[in-house]
Amino acid sequence: MKEASEPHFTLSLGHLYPDQLNLYGDRGNILTLRRRCELRGIELRVVGLGIGDALAPDEYDMLFIGGGQDKEQAPVAQDLYEIKGIGLWAAIEDDMPVLAVCGGYQLLAHYYRPANGPDMRGLGVFDAWTIHKGAHVPRCIGDVAISWNGSTLVGFENHGGRTYLGTAKPLGKVLKGYGNNAEDHTEGAVYRNAYGTYMHGSLLPKNPHFADFLIALALKRSYGRTNRAAENLVQPMDQNNGSTPTAQHTKASKWPSKSRSRSQQGIEDDPVKFLTPLDDTLEWEAHAALLERMGLYTAAADALRRSIEAGTVLHLHEISAARE
């Protein structure tokens, strides 16, 4: 599949249960990953993995699993445990980037306990569990913002279950909204390169840095360690003006060491820095606008300032007040 002489890069995204877990516009996450890859000359193949399909970890570079309704989640939980469980575990232990949103997140934890009915068994990737306390406890619904990796993530949450973390690390700290359980200010969970979160919205369009982070993780994992040159994909910031890179001939050199020579920072430290920056003005305006809608003005200004400094905001659309 991946020919050494071919300067064309391909990533395969396994989309788990696209027909069952498709609520709340999570399709936006796939569209975002695909387009952000395309703009960098990377082909993103999306493979739907439905009920009954096996999951062969070698065939994918990243995985996505969305959220669904309770009724549709039960057969999915069974299939995930019985058919895809081993493959998924192997992939995650092998550092494959996985994004699990809402229902998918719940199914990657130990169990989901509905208000009535039997527990739904999860994979236990995250040391966490989810309890639905019944119809009298209000659902966690609303805009949500969390701090993540020195920046912010914004989205919309809508979940009845409360998730409690055992030893699992949270994805971030809640700045506004409910998060995992509306009690301890944690949101989501992380294990190796698997990320679980309750954030819809869709999550990735308004958080381009997180989308790029996942793409970079996949590139690093799939190309970085097979002694393949990938510098036509990943360029140091100062040489780039935000345009789509043209495919160049790859040089036969070890990518990680080559990368280090071009920049002080290794790809291990911050893989995103090696991706071609895109013009994300609209993304960051939408991100900042949502933060401001939640009253997080400082966070909004920080997010916008950071992205201007990173060169991903090139022109702002709506700043009539600037002239006054």
Partner 1 sequence: MSKQKSSRPTKGDVRNRRKHRDTDTTKPVADLQDSDSQHFKQRRRSSLRAGLAVMGGRAAGALSRRLHLGGGTSIAGLVAQSVYPGIVGHLSKQLAHGSILVTGTNGKTTTSGLIAAILSDAGFRVWRNREGSNLMRGVAGALVIRAQPNGHLRRSGQAISIFEVDEAVMSQAVRTIPPRVAVFTNLFRDQLDRYGEVDSVSARWRYAVSLLPDTTTLILNADDPSTAQLGELFSGKVMYYGIDDPSLDFAAQQGPAAERHQAIDTRTCPFCGGEYIYTLQYYSHLGHYRCSKCLRTRPEADVRAVKVSTDGIDRLRMQVETATQQEEIVIPLAGFYNVYNALAAIAASLALGIARDPIVSGIEQFKPAFGRGERVQVEGRTLRLLLAKNPTGFNEVLRTLFNNGTFRHLLLVLNDNVADGRDISWIWDVDFERIVQHIATLTVAGTRALDLALRLKYAGIEPQDISIVTSGPLRAAKSIIQSKAHRMRGRGRLATAEAGRGSELIAIGDGLINQVSTKGYGIANALDSAIRRTPADETLFVVPTYTGLLEIHHELERRGLTPHYWEEKGP
How far apart CA 85 and CA 166 sit, in angstroms, is 21
> Which entry of 15, 200, 209, 287 is annotated as an active-site residue?
200
- Shortest CB 9 distance to partner 1, Å: 21
- Other C-beta atoms closer than 10 Å to the C-beta of 116 total 8
Q: List b or e across 129-161, with b for residues whose CB sees 16 or more CB atoms inside 10 angstroms.
A: bbbbeeeeeeebeebbbbebeebbbbbbbbbbb
Among 32, 163, 180, 222, binds partner 1 (CB under 8 A): 32
User: Catalytic annotation on 200?
Assistant: yes
How far apart CA 209 and CA 215 sit, in angstroms, is 10
Helical spans, DSSP H, in 122-220: 203-206, 208-219
Q: Does 262 bind partner 1 (CB under 8 A)?
A: no
C-beta of 1 vs 319, nearer to partner 1: 319
Q: Does 134 bind partner 1 (CB under 8 A)?
A: no
Q: Does 232 bind partner 1 (CB under 8 A)?
A: no
Q: How are beta strands 140-148 and 151-159 bridged, if at all?
A: antiparallel
How far apart CA 151 and CA 207 sit, in angstroms, is 10
- Shortest CB 275 distance to partner 1, Å: 17
- Shortest CB 300 distance to partner 1, Å: 4
How far apart CA 129 and CA 107 sit, in angstroms, is 9
User: Catalytic annotation on 110?
Assistant: no
Among 7, 25, 236, 256, binds partner 1 (CB under 8 A): 25
C-beta of 167 vs 320, nearer to partner 1: 320
- Shortest CB 59 distance to partner 1, Å: 20
Instruction: Determine contact, residues 253/173, Cβ cutoff 8 Å.
Output: no
- Binding string to partner 1 for residues 287 to 306, with x set by CB under 8 A, is what? -xxxxxx---x--xx-xxx-
How far apart CA 231 and CA 234 sit, in angstroms, is 5
Q: Of how many residues is the chain composed?
A: 324
Q: Does 136 bind partner 1 (CB under 8 A)?
A: no
Among 4, 54, 141, 237, binds partner 1 (CB under 8 A): 141
Q: Which residues are catalytic?
A: 102, 200
Residue ranges binding partner 1 (CB under 8 A): 19-20, 23-28, 31-32, 35, 69-72, 75, 139, 141-143, 156, 158, 160, 200-202, 205-206, 279, 281-283, 285-286, 288-293, 297, 300-301, 303-305, 308, 311, 313-323
